[in-house]
Amino acid sequence: MKIPSALQFWLRFRTPPLALQNVRHGRSKTAIAIAGIGFAVVMVILQLGFLEAVKIAASVNYDQLDFDLALVSPQFEQFYDPGTIPLRRLIEVEGLSTVEAARPLHARMNVWRCPPYPLDGNWDRLEEESSKLDAISRWWLGSKRPRPLQRRELLVLGIDLDKNPFREPIRSEIESNRANLKLDGRVLLSNESNLDFGWSLREKFHGWELGPLHVDVAGGFSLPRSFGADAAVLCDDFQFAKAFGLMPRSDVEFGLVKVRPGTLDQTAERIKAMLPADVRVLTRDEIYHIEADYWVNQTATGRIFAFGVFVGMIVAAVVVYQVLSNDVRRRLPEYATLKAMGYTDRFLGRTILTQGLIYSLSAYIPAVIASFFLYRGTERLANIPMRLTLPNLGIVLALTVGFGFVSGLLALRRLRSADPAELY
């Protein structure tokens, strides 16, 4: 008589596969194994998150700018050291019928005088107190963290106020401070800057300096931080030239071109044909790619996080292998009995491989949940844009299954070479 399929399923559920029985029977050992694998998986997810943060930070400045094509120096590699092009190239481009606007953007690094906290404190004592604080204490104290007067580099952006190149909300923030920015020595400080740069003290501190100039903070704008700069200030192009000792409106770092809808490729080819070799024409996607390649592949920041992903995978594979290998060694008498009863190496191998997958998948979901909270904490603590993306989760899931399977194969060597008669 044929057993109904529902009854077959119930019998299987009551008598689970050997691999699942081994996992359940382990109890505390199983919990420790899953915790160890989960820790390794969290390491991989965190390192992928840091690598993703590098990619996001690489595009953060461009995301705030309104352009379709960028005119840059032929030596351009990255936003914070872009080289310059003649400003007259933008005037030439503006004459094309498919060009709606060609706006200059200046961008260089300069030194900023950061205020101490508290403002009336002893600076030597503040420096000593600041040096004793760890990362958690710095985050916990926030803007009330003691810190000495110091000079640090930040990003300086200069624009022609009549040709605002930014998207919202920065465009409106600039327009609302337009009258102030026309005055000599007035700048906007990013309200998302590192606390050391003094945004919270803007109304109390009056010793601001940008390079060799005394300046006043007229307001703020919402430019996010990145790996290239912990803070940014914005001023008009004349103030920018004074801060760097340049001739005003001669050369410019970026020419940002806005074209008519549907004419991007046509306009790009026309600009390339009409301009000399002292200008490089890039689309938004092309400049994103160049910037991401620089930060991920050519800097220590990207390489460290990429290497961290590799190390995390190795650690995870070793943990799974050690768990399975120890389990096989502990259960050798049981496997010997099964082999003596006629069970093949193939059956036992499938059991161990399945057990490895159960360990790996059981650790994956808790690791993802733990990583979510670690991402949020890291983002708040270090102000790094941590994103738990579906592609990265898919990569980690594939890696988890992969090193569970490979580790199971390695653990099989002891079992396959063993003789049942020698296992007792």
Nearest to 225 by CA among 204, 195, 252, 185: 195
- Residue 7: what pLDDT? 42
pLDDT tens-digit map of 202-238: 889 989 999 999 999 999 999 988 888 999 999 999 9
Instruction: Tell me whether the omega of the peptide bond preceding residue 169 falls within 30 degrees of 0, making it cis.
Output: yes
Three-state DSSP state, 232: strand
Domain ranges of the chain: 17-57+300-422, 74-278
Residue for token pair 């998302």: 192
Contact call for residues 386 and 378 (beta carbons, < 8 A): yes
Q: How, if at all, do strands 216-221 and 186-190 pair?
A: parallel
Nearest to 85 by CA among 96, 100, 74: 74
- Residue 313: what pLDDT? 77
- Residue 44: what pLDDT? 87
User: How far is residue 399's CA from residue 391's CA, in Å, rounded to a whole number?
Assistant: 12
Nearest to 261 by CA among 100, 372, 420: 100
Other CB atoms within a 10 A radius of the CB of residue 343 amount to 14
- Residue 418: what pLDDT? 56
Q: Which residues of the chain have pLDDT under 50?
A: 1, 3, 7-15
List, in sequence order, every residue forming a beta bridge with 155; answer none if it has no partner.
109, 232
Other CB atoms within a 10 A radius of the CB of residue 373 amount to 9
Task: Looking at 64-122, list the stretches that DSSP marks H as alpha helix, in order from N- to C-terminal side.
Answer: 88-94
User: How far is residue 133's CA from residue 147's CA, in Å, rounded to a whole number?
Assistant: 10
pTM: 0.79
Contact call for residues 114 and 123 (beta carbons, < 8 A): no
Contact call for residues 157 and 233 (beta carbons, < 8 A): yes
List, in sequence order, every residue forming a beta bridge with 257; answer none if it has no partner.
69, 102
Other CB atoms within a 10 A radius of the CB of residue 413 amount to 11
User: How far is residue 379's CA from residue 122's CA, in Å, rounded to a whole number?
Assistant: 32
- Residue 272: what pLDDT? 94
